[in-house]
Structure 1
């Protein structure tokens, strides 16, 4: 299968498309031409900047704006980067997705395999994002954003305080994710757009801070706000590292 930096992300094939790394012509809608090209890129950085005229750039910006539900205006996007993940990381993700699909048969219900979806994630950054370019900071343990970009999401790095226990949180609401995009340097902020295998999600409208895995018979928790409830925006929570991978980094402000 052709390599894609975000396994869920594939555009409809169009003439004139080229690999975002090496500029080789591609015809399948993926962003990267091959595993070999991606692995060479990873030797320097996992981030590949997208040009503003690229269809993926326009799509990501459109999603950010359309899914900004707070009263404030959607921010100005400074840059969009594809996040390249390694072949081994992709393999474990795809294996997990296949396992969920074999149990839940999501495609029979016209969902993507494993009920895969794109979701926003905001995290703390110690980087000066105005000058990040394609650099990943060296503060691996102290900068959650760069840790995600370098080695994906890790349940074991959960810091506590989530509505649904010890898991990896994401949301369909970009402005909600922005509330968690804390920075310690500079004035720019960043969100990650991630591929998430939600499978059969347990819908919860009340907090359950004691969870360390999905309820029996489920693959994820879906936080659904209700009138008079304690939270206002949706949550998608997974409890397995292989259920989620970063796809894009969006820098804005």
Structure 2
């Protein structure tokens, strides 16, 4: 049994309303969801050579309810399918990270909350139009597990794929996605020709030990994933531009600069 199908009508409905309002809402640090995402982000920062990141903001991505209906239907379908087959985790929904190119200032402040309209800003295209498996490989030609949508529980690995696109920006960003992992097929070795998971599975999870150093999860259906949160952060070794300027002025004039 291959990837569960939700039908052409469901699959196409995601593309018919591009002008619907999608925006980001900054979460307060006291918000339980802020604390949950923060904990996942810091726990997933595993690369020993990377400095511990500093979170500048966590944003909830808000969609009109109908935009997420295909995801909900897919999740329910996988839940029923797997419970009937004896897989007690059902839909096995997880929060996983994805890094991509940003060409704008989305998330640089609590006022920068609307995705830009640049067709080359992958971050805003994903947020506005959702994921599209057909674009797999458009930025990175090597596809370890074939043509799919790649995420990871390792935030420092997702950080490797962030790119500012040549535009100065104060912060780095990652997407935190709800992913229907379902029943995964666990792999330690590359399988670059895949276009779907093996029968009876809904995803591939690559685990460290052979071809991988850090975990990654791949789904092959657009409806299996949607962006839920965005994190804006800095690396301690890469302070924001304002801090760099303040450091320079402080050095020149031998006096602290007020922030």
Q: Same fold (TM over 0.5)?
A: yes
Match of 2:193 among 194, 210, 214: 210
For 2:182, the equivalent position in structure 1 comes to 199
* TM-score of the aligned structures, taking structure 2 as reference length: 0.75
Contact 2:47 2:156 in 1 (8 A): yes
Pairwise CA RMSD: 2.0
* 1:61 lines up with 2:42 in the alignment: no
C-alpha spacing 1:105/1:225, structure 2 compared with 1 (3 Å): same
* TM-score of the aligned structures, taking structure 1 as reference length: 0.76
Higher relative contact order, structure no. (Cα contacts within 8 Å, ≥ 6 residues apart): 2
Contact 1:82 1:247 in 2 (8 A): yes
Encode CA deviations 1:11-48: one digit per residue, 9 max, x unaligned.
Answer: xxxxxxxxxxxxxxxxxxxxxxxxxxxxxxx9654211
Contact 2:99 2:160 in 1 (8 A): yes
For 1:76, the equivalent position in structure 2 comes to 54
* 1:232 lines up with 2:210 in the alignment: no
Match of 2:82 among 104, 121, 126: 104
* 1:134 lines up with 2:125 in the alignment: no
Contact 2:151 2:218 in 1 (8 A): yes
Contact 1:106 1:114 in 2 (8 A): no
1:188 and 1:101 mapped to 2: Cα distance? 37
Aligned pairs (5 A) from 1:1-253:
44-71=21-48, 72-105=50-83, 111=89, 113-129=90-106, 130=108, 133-139=112-118, 141-158=119-136, 159=138, 160-184=141-165, 185=167, 186-226=169-209, 229-253=210-234
Structure 2: gaps spanning 5 or more residues? 1-18, 235-259
C-alpha spacing 1:234/1:85, structure 2 compared with 1 (3 Å): same
* Structure with larger Rg: 2
Structure 1: gaps spanning 5 or more residues? 1-41
